[in-house]
């Protein structure tokens, strides 16, 4: 009996637990006629259920439901007069799923009560009810529908008219009305999905007066629906689901529509699967496809095609149906770790090599290529303590690339054992597999290395101004193989200031020049040099010597070089701040001590402002200007001297002396604007000089026919003919003063009657002396002075010869011939001055006093003529072909001296 009681109690508890979570099958919600996107709709609550143990889902794409049951519109939703229905699926921890139908109703219908009606008498009018016809009726046609009768037909003879869609508007001819009897007929079948209702206007008139006897009446003809449309699929049947999904996972939702009338069984669709039932299932009312197994494997099969059937009439046998093929694609999850193709790997690397690829490690992965589930990542899990290796992934082949990043030392580690693990970018899921690792053995090959210093860097401390040849320290290198320093030589690689000497045999470092801590070669108190060690095989090793330079009190505090501006204030004695500088560091710099010399004149006072500055103040009225004030400044160690502080006392504006403020200073653009015109002027002068220097005046010399053997026209390449010496008339008497005196005597003034001949220039007569221009030739009747002068670059070139006047009448053509030659020479002489070194400007023929014999040395000028022929004997050794050339070039005339000591050519110019 007790057992029965206990059993009943347990049964009551179980039943109470079941009933404690009540989920209704439907619920009504009143909402506005139009719901905008993001608007709150309602909250689906189940008070008797634990909210943490149930999961809520909505498949309507226009709505969204949160875990707390809040329903929100994702897109704009319109609620018709008949309302809108969506379903909420409730799933508990056991996987059991229930459906709640939520009816959205227009809130204008909520609490609506019938309007209050007052009874009153009104005029009775004809108002027949709507007429109904069946869509797609098979006939026979025409078929009578109903007779329309107006109340006025009881006491009048009337006729009827008919107008509207189906009569005289499209579709025309569907309905007709007998004018006399008012019989309404239909003439052909109507598709409700095209024309669900017709509204036709009927009017009644008196047959005799044609006066309308009643108000117009709108007659409704409703087309009743028949199930003539099978349901169709709204969306493409393409779905995806991750592989290895648990049973009951949602794959997707099939949406169907039916053109038949809403609210009838004609549009109630039921869903079913015809194939794939071993892997998938579909909810008959909602069309939600779910999985029935957890064994779906993309690596075995990645796509499934299942046949879905949709049928109206709530799935009844009389319902119309349609089928479609749903394609379900399995998406990849990382359920396959990468696997190595070998159980271990070996590689070798030479010592001291770095940045080199030493091994490729291939792996295989069954997951989808080029996705995070397939891309491998390699990790060195063992042997990475010294960071000598790194491993990367080849993006094309997905292989592991093992590099040596730091040089290995065979003498320290002849081999290195690594362990490398391969994993994916994405974590593993849906599998019990783990990441794999393999051993990699690296053999280090020995090579003959250069010497190595005992340490890559060595640090020595040296005080600045240390005497030369002071030993700083020793920096030695060893041969890695022999561990000995025998035969190793040491050399400096860098020593920017040349402060250090290095003993090439033992590596001793000594001071070579004065070390200055304040030098720009010292950065932050450190001076670096690089040294090299070379063994007998010319292999090298390098090291760095870091020299820490200690400060010495070798710099006195100094006042700034500029002027100290003291602004004059009316009724006040001004002051200025003195801030000295000391290149040394603490304790050889600030705090400074300031004082005035003991013999100061008492005009100034100096007081300490802070540790590195003092205030200089004048005690008496002083005139404006610069005042030199002696100031004694010393550092903390008492090292310093008396210096002159230049103080300018002036009237100021905004802290600037007015005298200085009025001065004008040029900035970079001002200087450029000033120099640009000068540069242009200089360029213009250079161009002008260039054109003047390169201009050549062409002058045609006329052959007068009576040259007297002075100039001959010839175009022969053979030696010229001998010129008769007697044909050239020269004056025989030359002024003794010109011969025996200096060259100046020739150009001095002449006595007698002077005449002027001007060719291409100008000449003036001044106290019996002629002064000629650049191209002027003067002749004097008393004594002829032929002056050919030319000016070039400020130098005057000239030559003069004196003639006896009696020769002027001897030959009338002589003067004309001589003028012609003078003009020719005058044109040529300036060209001699245009040589680069200017040496030809003075190298022309001059008159010299004859001393009875010619110079043994001869003339060395470029324009000189030799008394005897040049020695061209060497031409004879050049062969017969050059003999004719030498004869052509050989001079036939000689220079013969006259009695007056002036040389003239015997037979040619």
Q: Which alpha helices (DSSP H) does 701-764 contain, by range?
A: 736-740, 744-747
What percent of the chain clears pLDDT 70, i.e. is strictly above it? 70
Find out whether 830 and 790 touch, Cβ atoms under 8 Å: yes
Q: Model confidence at 899, in pLDDT bands (50, 70, 90)?
A: very low
Nearest to 255, CA basis, from 60, 91, 100: 60
Q: Which residues pair with residue 389 across a beta bridge? A: 404
The mean predicted confidence, pLDDT, of the chain is 76
pLDDT of residue 328: 95
This prediction has a pTM of 0.41
With cut-offs at 50, 70 and 90, classify the pLDDT of residue 677.
confident
Is the pLDDT assigned to residue 854 strictly greater than 70?
no
Q: Which of 38-47, 365-374, 454-463, 629-638 has the highest mean pLDDT?
A: 365-374
Residue pair 87/56 in contact (Cβ under 8 Å)? The answer is no
| pLDDT one-digit tens code per residue, 157-166 | 999 998 999 9
- Phi, psi of 677, deg, nearest 5: -65, -35
pLDDT tens digit sequence for 318-336 = 899 999 999 999 999 999 9
- Most confident of the following: 554-558, 762-766, 869-873: 554-558
* Model confidence band, residue 749 (pLDDT cutoffs 50, 70, 90): very low
pLDDT in tens, 105-157: 877 766 554 333 333 333 445 566 788 888 888 888 898 888 888 888 888 89
The pLDDT assigned to 662 comes to 46
Q: Do residues 35 and 77 make contact, with C-beta atoms less than 8 angstroms apart?
A: yes
635 close to 648: Cβ distance less than 8 angstroms: no
Mean pLDDT value across residues 801-828: 57
Instruction: Provide mean pLDDT across the span 392-410.
Output: 92
Quickly state the pLDDT bin for 742 (edges 50, 70, 90).
Answer: very low
Question: What is the band of 187 on the pLDDT scale with cuts at 50, 70, 90?
Answer: very high
Percent of the chain with pLDDT over 90: 25
Does residue 890 surpass a pLDDT of 50? yes
- pLDDT at residue 813, rounded to an integer: 56
Residue 174 has pLDDT above 80, yes or no: yes
- Assess contact for 649 and 625: CB atoms under 8 A: yes
The two tokens of residue 120 are 């009153």
Give pLDDT, residue 675: 83
pLDDT over 60 at 380, yes or no:
yes
- Predicted local confidence at residue 106, as pLDDT: 77
How many Cα atoms occupy the beta-carbon half-sphere of 114 within 13 Å?
A: 3
What is the DSSP annotation of 240-295? EEETTPPTT-EEEE--EE--S-TTSGGG--EEEESS-TTTEEE-TTT-EEEES-S-
Tokens (6 digits) for 493:
């690689």
pLDDT grade, residue 352 (50/70/90)? confident
Using the predicted structure, report yes or no on whether residue 219 has a pLDDT greater than 70: yes
Contact of 719 with 887, CB cutoff 8 Å: yes
Neighbour-count burial of 471, counting CB atoms closer than 10 A to its CB (0-12 exposed, 13-18 middle, 19+ buried): exposed
């Amino acid at each position: 009996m007790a057992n029965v009681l206990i059993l009943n109690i347990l049964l009551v508890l179980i039943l109470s637990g079941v009933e404690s979570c009540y989920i209704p099958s439907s619920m009504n919600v009143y909402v506005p006629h139009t719901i905008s996107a993001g608007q709150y709709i309602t909250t689906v609550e189940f008070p008797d259920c634990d909210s943490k143990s149930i999961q809520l889902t909505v498949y309507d794409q226009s709505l969204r439901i949160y875990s707390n049951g809040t329903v929100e519109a994702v897109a704009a939703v319109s609620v018709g007069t008949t309302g809108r229905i969506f379903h909420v699926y409730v799933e508990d921890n056991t996987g059991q799923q229930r459906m709640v139908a939520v009816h959205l109703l227009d809130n204008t219908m909520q609490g609506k009560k019938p309007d209050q009606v007052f009874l009153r008498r009104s005029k009775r009018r004809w108002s027949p009810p709507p007429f109904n016809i069946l869509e797609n009726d098979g006939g026979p046609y025409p078929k009578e529908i109903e007779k329309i009768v107006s109340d006025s037909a009881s006491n009048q003879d009337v006729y009827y008219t008919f107008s509207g869609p189906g009569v005289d508007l499209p579709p025309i001819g569907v309905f007709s009305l007998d004018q006399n009897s008012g019989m309404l007929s239909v003439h052909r079948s109507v598709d409700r999905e095209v024309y669900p209702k017709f509204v036709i206007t009927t009017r009644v008139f008196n047959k005799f007066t044609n006066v309308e006897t009643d108000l117009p009446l709108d007659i409704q003809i409703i087309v009743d629906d028949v199930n003539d449309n099978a349901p169709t699929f709204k969306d493409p049947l393409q779905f995806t689901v991750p592989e290895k999904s648990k049973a009951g996972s949602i794959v997707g939702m099939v949406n169907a529509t039916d053109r038949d009338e809403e609210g009838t069984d004609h549009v109630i669709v039921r869903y079913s699967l015809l194939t794939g039932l071993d892997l998938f299932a579909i909810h008959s009312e909602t069309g939600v496809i779910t999985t029935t197994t957890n064994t779906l494997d993309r690596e075995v099969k990645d796509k499934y095609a299942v046949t879905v059937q949709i049928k109206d009439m709530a799935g009844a046998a009389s319902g119309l149906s349609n089928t479609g093929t749903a394609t379900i694609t399995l998406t990849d999850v990382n359920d396959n770790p990468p696997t190595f193709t070998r159980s271990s790997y070996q590689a070798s690397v030479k010592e001291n090599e770095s940045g080199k690829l030493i091994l490729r490690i291939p792996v295989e992965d069954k997951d989808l290529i080029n996705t995070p589930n397939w891309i491998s990542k390699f990790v060195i899990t063992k042997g990475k303590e010294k960071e000598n290796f790194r491993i990367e992934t080849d993006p094309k082949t997905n292989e592991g690339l093992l590099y040596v990043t730091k040089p290995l030392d065979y003498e320290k580690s002849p081999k290195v054992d690594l362990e490398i693990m391969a994993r994916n970018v994405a974590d593993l899921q849906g599998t019990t597999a783990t990441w794999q690792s393999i051993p990699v053995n690296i053999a280090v090959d020995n090579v003959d290395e250069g010497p190595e210093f005992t340490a890559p860097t060595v640090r020595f401390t040296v005080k600045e101004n240390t005497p030369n040849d002071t030993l700083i320290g020793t920096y030695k290198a060893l041969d890695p193989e022999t561990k000995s320093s025998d035969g190793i030589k040491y050399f400096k690689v860098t020593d920017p200031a040349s402060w250090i000497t290095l003993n090439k045999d033992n590596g001793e470092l000594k001071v070579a020049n004065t070390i200055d801590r304040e030098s720009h070669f010292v950065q932050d108190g450190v001076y670096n040099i690089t040294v090299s060690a070379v063994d007998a095989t010319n292999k090298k090793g390098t090291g760095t010597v870091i020299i820490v330079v200690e400060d010495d009190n070798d710099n006195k505090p100094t006042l700034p070089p500029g002027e100290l501006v003291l602004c004059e204030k009316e009724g006040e004695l001004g002051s200025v701040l003195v801030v000295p500088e000391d290149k040394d560091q603490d304790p050889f710099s600030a705090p400074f001590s300031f004082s005035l010399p003991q013999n100061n004149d008492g005009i100034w006072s100096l007081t300490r402002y802070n540790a590195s500055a003092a205030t200089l103040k004048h005690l008496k009225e002083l005139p404006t200007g610069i005042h030199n004030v002696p100031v004694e400044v010393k550092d903390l160690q008492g090292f310093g001297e008396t210096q002159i502080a230049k103080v300018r006392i002036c009237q100021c504006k905004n802290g600037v002396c007015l005298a200085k403020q009025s001065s004008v200073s040029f900035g970079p653009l001002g200087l450029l604007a000033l120099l640009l015109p000068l540069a242009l002027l200089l360029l213009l002068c250079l161009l002008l000089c260039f054109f003047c220097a390169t201009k050549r005046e062409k002058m045609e010399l006329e052959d007068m026919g009576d040259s007297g053997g002075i100039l001959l026209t010839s175009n022969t390449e053979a030696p010229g003919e001998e010129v008769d010496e007697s044909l050239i008339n020269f004056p025989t008497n030359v002024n003794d003063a010109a011969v025996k005196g200096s060259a100046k005597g020739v150009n001095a003034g002449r006595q007698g009657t002077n005449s002027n001949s001007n060719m291409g220039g100008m000449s003036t007569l001044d106290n019996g002396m002629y002064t000629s221009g650049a191209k002027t030739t003067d002749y004097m009747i008393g004594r002829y002075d032929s002056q050919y002068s030319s000016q070039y670059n400020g130098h005057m070139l000239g030559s003069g010869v004196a003639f006896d006047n009696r020769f002027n009448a001897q030959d009338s053509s002589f003067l004309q011939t001589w003028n012609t030659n003078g003009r020719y020479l005058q044109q040529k002489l300036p060209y001699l001055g245009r040589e680069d070194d200017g040496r030809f400007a003075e190298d022309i023929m001059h008159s010299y006093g004859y001393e009875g014999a010619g110079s043994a040395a001869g003339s060395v000028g470029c324009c000189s003529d030799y008394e005897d022929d040049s020695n061209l004997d060497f031409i004879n050794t050049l062969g017969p072909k050059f003999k004719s050339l030498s004869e052509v070039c050989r001079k036939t005339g000689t220079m013969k001296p006259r009695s007056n000591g002036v040389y003239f050519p015997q037979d040619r110019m």
